[in-house]
Amino acid sequence: MNKKNIPLIIALCIPVLMILVLAAVIYLPGLGKKPAHNFIYMTGDNYYNYGQSKYLVSDGYIRENPSATITPALYYKPVASDSRLFLYNVTTNIATELNIQQASQYRLDPSQASADGYKVERGNSNGDFLFGSGGGDYNSWFIKGHNRSTKLNLKLNSTDYYNMQFLGWVE
């Protein structure tokens, strides 16, 4: 090795080391962390007035919404609501359907973020800048937090992708 090449080698190594240190600072704190709180969500409710649904969270518990009204449509007759409630287990990645009596036994925190810092969010169409995929998946839902994102295995009908409603984190 020539002594003239040492400054060149150092100059090339510094940016690589900076990238490695930055990646470690960003990703290592979240390594091994997994969500700890299950959540309850609802699907359906296509025919209720805007801002209303068959179920709501009141004082930390799921209740039937007494003021929910179905909007009559001009060209079609509304059908009975097919609202369905599910408990999502974040450990097993499995959604279990609940009836209103079962769901009302759980105390919920309706906050957008869980106590351990995770959120349930819809996929988006942001493409990958470097590789230009430009793809996205609006029909998928993810649990995101601590620099990680995991696709959820939600039980949805083909028409329910846009009608999934997060109700709360199980306390």
pTM of the model: 0.72
- Whether the pLDDT of residue 163 is over 70: the answer is yes
Integer CA distances (angstroms), 86 to 93, 101, 119, 122, 154, in order: 12, 12, 17, 17, 9
- In percent, the amount of the chain with pLDDT more than 90 equals 35
pLDDT of residue 68: 65
* Banded pLDDT at 161 (limits 50, 70, 90): low
What tens digit of pLDDT does each residue of 84-133 get?
899 999 999 999 999 999 999 999 999 999 999 999 998 876 555 555 45
Residue 1: CB atoms within 10 Å:
6
pLDDT of residue 132: 47
Is 69 in a helix, a strand, or coil? coil
- In percent, the amount of the chain with pLDDT more than 70 equals 73
How many Å apart are CA 85 and CA 45, to the nearest integer?
Answer: 11
Is 101 in a helix, a strand, or coil? helix
Q: Which residue has the higher pLDDT, 62 or 82?
A: 62
Q: Which residue has the higher pLDDT, 162 or 147?
A: 147
- Whether the pLDDT of residue 2 is over 50: the answer is yes
Q: Is 29 left (phi over 0), alpha (psi -120 to 50) or beta?
A: alpha
SS (H, E, C) 30-97: HCCCCCCCCEEEEECCCCECCCCCCEEEECCEEEECCCCCECCCCCCCCCCCCCEEEEEECCCCEEEE
Q: List the single range of 18-27, 114-123, 134-143 with lowest mean pLDDT.
A: 134-143
